[in-house]
Structure 1
């Protein structure tokens, strides 16, 4: 029996510890630490750590997540030495501190101190409990779990992010920014002592409400640091002289639409961005001040990107997020809108690379029809012969359509899509010639990214809105070629007003502001995209609901805002100005002289050089004048004729016929040419005895004033409709016919008065036998 009893005691001594350990393990599995949050608080921060916007949790709490390395060592010294001197040594609870607190409480008859360690305070923050004996046991259990599963550094990090600081603030990061307006890494001795004591009574010690109480508590911590020898007496005395008087705390309220956009693309609690908080604040002030100058229900968008790194430095999605009448909650930076003429620099750059044109190529700003599409200019007029540079600077529509027609709209859209500019088209449609005038949709952020090609040697790069994205140190920037370096350089210089070649010694190495405007159909959107030496600036104004705004256009509405932002960016010190990026001329770009109408260089005195121009050449290429298909002869501007001894034009097989090449202006330009430059004056007369076999080319006959298939309606209360029809081009006399009946002779136009509803046909015939007609309906 004695042996059996001894065996049982030995068995119990071996089994009980195992059972105890198993019980602890089961309890840990059944009641795990509540570390994960279902709806965590999140904060969006600028590049320097300044909080921009916060997304509170379900209880309205907001935090600014920090690590030990993000916090000033002074704060850690004050916190640990004031709250828990043996934090690094105890196993989660400090028995001596608990006994001391119990003795103090019993002797005074009230709670003097709780004896809780930092680990126990974290346990209470993670799992709140009532202030009862059972609650204390529960807190001790959670503290032991924390010490079991986490390191001391992890426990301290939890405290830094969960400690209460009054109201809806939790964590030293949020408190430092809200109360002190600075990073927790920049705390002074006074700041560190204040933030160390606030969690003891966050509501009673709030420095923005009770500065005297907060100062008294802070001074208590400071004196404790001096007594313990943590800080020197000099440091403490200087800190004691600092008053605690803070303005009401400020919640982060910058870049709300940007924050909403980036928060939808990441699940991080602390969302770091590339934004410049100071610049963002200035841009939002500009937008708010500009709001009063906008028409009713109109908004704006601003985007600033450092094209050397492609970091987004400023993002304003609307004029005022709180103005519902302007749809302030709609982010117009990412909205799809008609870009108007903003795409024109791309088509000219691509045409340069394709050898279709050069910077001084002769283009035609004349009326032209492309099937059912007949584009016009913003000023409703036409300017005849223009160079590519002039057409781009003046944003003329017909030359851009002419170049796009030669390059190909589908090919053009595909190249832009390859670099991230995804143009949108109505369902079932595909890219066509209207694309270059805004016949598609585009986003401001994608447009700005594509414009980086003009500043980055032809390579368009993606925007970066977060650190660590491609392009950060050690990571390649995501970019793709869109243009050659030479073509990008030429287009940027033209947009900057430097289309005329200059010697390299006179050419500014730092390019001034280069910009392009755009106005969509019906004055719905006004754009301006600008590039200075370091930044790309994107501006949009209009109504988010897409209703027209009479009188709103890019040059008048968006450019003044662009200039204001550019002046803001350029207001830097002389040292910073001296470090601005330069844009030297690529070796592929050279100066050249060409002649109109042929488009190529000719020797001095050549009669075919009707006008000599200077311009930039790409790879010394001099492509001939781009022909406009359907409006010119097969031979184009350069024709071969035969002359007899009297200088009259004859057939090639006539006696004594000599061959001669002559450059003629494109036929559609005839109405804009002086009399001496028109074909009738430039071509020698035909020989009556041996005339040339082919007929003279004539200017195509065009009908203006009504389009094919148009449906016309009389004004309310009117019984008739007055219509003015004009003709353009052609040769000689004109004859007009309405439904087969003659209505006018030898006049460039005819005035019609229509009364009866029905179908009509207007037809004009010229002396060369050309016919132009249009069928329309009167309702």
Structure 2
């Protein structure tokens, strides 16, 4: 009994020593941890990957990522007792030693997949000493990790071709697909390549690659893991003839997500890879029409969960300034904020869709803004003012709302407003694009129109949704705005496209100097925003939102699925025509407005109908605004008119120039000089 005591003490000391060595000298996992960062779509399809610091494509690959058939072939060929041994296979080791002793040289190896994983983690010169270290490391790995995790190490680090490591990177580079669906021939080639990656490179050395694959298939038939027919068919499969590029979708968003989270090796976005590829292709085709280095950015969001399903930060990532993410670049939004001005005015009972409002010349201090078409339309409804994107009515409403208050509401909703030129206060130019915003924020605001007026943060990753919401306007106001925008005319050339089947409520915008062209629309559970312009912000005369951005937006809507349901606001489309209370019939009091001559327009040429006698017909004089009664003078002579009306008629005595004057009851004047013909 006594002799056993020293043995037990020695054994216990040996175990403690091994445990201590394992504790103080753990396996070096740095190569595995330094895998390539990758961004996938919501279904796991790769969008973009990034090389490691040592220039390798090394995509983290787990057991569930690969075709089970490949795993079966790998284990059957490399390590048939993988699931049973403790990291070192005693039977394989004994066989290899016996063959070495009897033949004097190595006939077969005894490396298990766990030992290979250890060698891949810590590469070193091969030899007896290195093999002994691999065995110890394999035992350590088995103690620390599960069998599936050890397989994941091998699947991530196994060398294949050039700077490609790991099964996922290899299948993308060789076959242009993920490793989840592989043929028997592809699986056998992947089993053969790590043994001699350079010598069996299928593009550079196809015969050697074919021979290596054949050797794997032959041994698997001998071990009854494949039947002869399947092996023969696999051996007839073609080999890759060129290295394929890695997926490169949504590069701007992928770059931004990686910069925000440098530790995660795989980020799962909420994008749809199929939709993303289709949208990028469409946008590249549209950009071919431009020869002035203009770029295009676009975002599509599913409203119900704010999932960003498509994101294009620019159409040419490797072009001039192509790596600038234009979807988050700060730009002037033009007129795209007008719907929110009117929506808030509806909530404040300042106006309704059929409220009549003046589109007439007006000065705001030293500022005398004009409409985009340089014309004025007199008294129009709020609905028409929004559909036609008239500037003067929007400014009048914002002036009553208060620009600071309006801006505060947008900021509360999550939008960032950047003031130009170091200004510290918001002014009326806000209505016409006098602040800086991003396409991201604009799309976020428009998504609120499709969700009862509630703004929520956009989701870029497939994690838990941010349930915070911020009211931009009431559900009634949001639905009314959508109805107004949905009744507006479509851009030229759009009526015959597939988007005719869906009702798109959209707004366009053009910034000062034609620097930015915008279009943002809401339809069937989605919002799509498009920006067109130059990355450096230089002007593009003649390019505006309705003509440059809106057609692209409509085409992108054609690629989206039709979500069920519609905005659940309380108002119906008929609400756009409901009876307006008398108090809201007009936005301004006529007595508060100076008169404005609507006809004849100033500096115009008027062709009058000829009478039977050959003389000119009567000239109609029409004004709007001002306090009644109005007085009319032509060339200094008073004209008879009805004091209850805002128009009169004058009979000219021949062709030539005439000067028309109208004076209201408060002695306010407007004039027009025209030529009669």
Aligning the two structures, in what range does the TM-score lie when normalised by the shorter sequence? 0.7 to 0.9
- Name the residue aligned to 1:522: 513
Encode CA deviations 1:402-433: one digit per residue, 9 max, x unaligned: 11112221221122222222212244512221
What is the CA distance between 1:179 and its match in structure 2?
Answer: 1.8
* CA distance 1:210–1:108, change in 2 (3 Å): farther
Encode CA deviations 1:15-73: one digit per residue, 9 max, x unaligned: 32233223223322332211145754211112232222111112111233232222221
Judge conservation of contact 2:335–2:509 (CA < 8 Å) in 1.
yes
- Name the residue aligned to 1:280: 276
Is 1:67 equivalent to 2:62 in the alignment? yes
What is the CA distance between 1:590 and its match in structure 2?
Answer: 6.4
- Name the residue aligned to 1:78: 73
Structure 1, unpaired ranges of 5+: 1-5, 472-476, 500-507, 571-575, 593-614, 629-635, 638-663, 686-695, 700-725, 737-745, 750-779
Is 1:128 equivalent to 2:54 in the alignment? no
Q: Which has the larger radius of gyration?
A: 1
What is the CA distance between 1:342 and its match in structure 2?
Answer: 0.7
- Name the residue aligned to 1:387: 381
Is 1:400 equivalent to 2:361 in the alignment? no
Matches within 5 A, 1:26-425: 26-37=20-31, 39-104=34-99, 111-232=106-227, 235-266=230-261, 267-324=263-320, 327-425=321-419
Q: Secondary structure at the match of 2:574?
A: strand
What is the CA distance between 1:356 and its match in structure 2?
Answer: 1.4
Alignment partner of 2:522 out of 507, 526, 531: 531
Q: Take 2:44 and 2:392, find their aligned partners in 1: how far apart are those partners?
A: 50
Encode CA deviations 1:486-542: one digit per residue, 9 max, x unaligned: 22222122222269xxxxxxxx99742222111112222111112232432211122
Judge conservation of contact 1:70–1:184 (CA < 8 Å) in 2.
yes
252-261 vs 104-113, greater mean Cα deviation: 104-113
What is the CA distance between 1:241 and its match in structure 2?
Answer: 4.0
Judge conservation of contact 1:305–1:535 (CA < 8 Å) in 2.
yes
Q: Take 2:345 and 2:672, find their aligned partners in 1: how far apart are those partners?
A: 36
Is 1:583 equivalent to 2:548 in the alignment? no
Judge conservation of contact 1:539–1:561 (CA < 8 Å) in 2.
yes
* CA distance 1:81–1:621, change in 2 (3 Å): farther
Encode CA deviations 1:62-89: one digit per residue, 9 max, x unaligned: 2332322222211111111111011111
What is the CA distance between 1:728 and its match in structure 2?
Answer: 9.7
Judge conservation of contact 2:475–2:568 (CA < 8 Å) in 1.
no
Is 1:479 equivalent to 2:469 in the alignment? yes
Q: Secondary structure at the match of 1:184?
A: coil
Encode CA deviations 1:596-649: one digit per residue, 9 max, x unaligned: xxxxxxxxxxxxxxxxxxx4349x867514544xxxxxxx35xxxxxxxxxxxx
* CA distance 1:295–1:246, change in 2 (3 Å): closer
Encode CA deviations 1:544-582: one digit per residue, 9 max, x unaligned: 222222223212222233233334x16xxxxx6xx6434
What is the CA distance between 1:103 and its match in structure 2?
Answer: 4.5
What is the CA distance between 1:251 and its match in structure 2?
Answer: 1.8
* CA distance 1:494–1:155, change in 2 (3 Å): same
Structure 2, unpaired ranges of 5+: 490-498, 600-619, 632-642, 647-658
Alignment partner of 2:598 out of 669, 672, 676: 672
What is the CA distance between 1:234 and its match in structure 2?
Answer: 5.3
Encode CA deviations 1:424-469: one digit per residue, 9 max, x unaligned: 2244512221111111111101111111122223222322111123
**TM-score, length-normalised on structure 2?**
0.83
Judge conservation of contact 2:475–2:570 (CA < 8 Å) in 1.
no
- Name the residue aligned to 2:616: none
What is the CA distance between 1:586 and its match in structure 2?
Answer: 4.3
Q: Take 2:419 and 2:168, find their aligned partners in 1: how far apart are those partners?
A: 47
Q: Could you say which structure has the greater relative contact order, defined with CA pairs below 8 angstroms and 6 or more residues apart?
A: 2
Matches within 5 A, 1:493-532: 493-497=483-487, 511-532=502-523
Judge conservation of contact 2:525–2:565 (CA < 8 Å) in 1.
no
- Name the residue aligned to 2:17: 23
What is the CA distance between 1:226 and its match in structure 2?
Answer: 3.6
Judge conservation of contact 1:449–1:462 (CA < 8 Å) in 2.
yes
Judge conservation of contact 2:298–2:529 (CA < 8 Å) in 1.
yes
Alignment partner of 1:490 out of 480, 505, 510: 480
Matches within 5 A, 1:703-718: none
Judge conservation of contact 2:454–2:471 (CA < 8 Å) in 1.
yes
What is the CA distance between 1:126 and its match in structure 2?
Answer: 0.6
What is the CA distance between 1:146 and its match in structure 2?
Answer: 0.8
What is the CA distance between 1:385 and its match in structure 2?
Answer: 0.9
What is the CA distance between 1:297 and its match in structure 2?
Answer: 4.0
* CA distance 1:309–1:152, change in 2 (3 Å): same
Q: CA RMSD in A?
A: 3.4
* CA distance 1:729–1:163, change in 2 (3 Å): farther
What is the CA distance between 1:331 and its match in structure 2?
Answer: 0.7
- Name the residue aligned to 1:470: 465
53-62 vs 479-488, greater mean Cα deviation: 479-488
Q: Take 2:626 and 2:21, find their aligned partners in 1: how far apart are those partners?
A: 105
Q: Take 1:585 and 1:18, find their aligned partners in 2: how far apart are those partners?
A: 74
- Name the residue aligned to 1:693: none
34-43 vs 64-73, greater mean Cα deviation: 34-43
Q: Take 1:194 and 1:134, find their aligned partners in 2: how far apart are those partners?
A: 31
Judge conservation of contact 2:275–2:310 (CA < 8 Å) in 1.
yes
Q: Take 2:76 and 2:276, find their aligned partners in 1: how far apart are those partners?
A: 40
Judge conservation of contact 2:335–2:432 (CA < 8 Å) in 1.
yes
Judge conservation of contact 1:486–1:589 (CA < 8 Å) in 2.
no
Q: Take 2:587 and 2:249, find their aligned partners in 1: how far apart are those partners?
A: 53
Judge conservation of contact 1:511–1:583 (CA < 8 Å) in 2.
no
Q: Take 1:65 and 1:375, find their aligned partners in 2: how far apart are those partners?
A: 58
Judge conservation of contact 2:626–2:668 (CA < 8 Å) in 1.
no
